[in-house]
Amino acid sequence: MLRKLAIRNAKRSIKDYLVYLITVIMSFSLIIAFNFLFI
């Protein structure tokens, strides 16, 4: 029972973490692109 609950929570948090990771990667790549433009 506890294992099922833990697995379900992990799946939910993975979705939230993916959104967070994608936004971090996008903002980081934007910063790098602007740095290359203005060098």
Dump pLDDT digits (tens) for 15-28.
889 999 999 999 99
Give the global pTM.
0.58
Give the whole-angstrom CA distance, residue 2 versus residue 5. Answer: 5
**Displacement of CA 35 from its chain's centroid (Å):** 22
The pair of three-digit structure tokens given for residue 34, joined into one six-digit string: 């602007």
In this prediction, residues 25-38 reach a mean pLDDT of 93
Distances in Å between the Cα of 26 and the Cα atoms of 3, 31, 33 are 34, 9, 10
Give the whole-angstrom CA distance, residue 14 versus residue 18. Answer: 6
Give the whole-angstrom CA distance, residue 2 versus residue 8. Answer: 10
- Residue 1: the pLDDT is 77
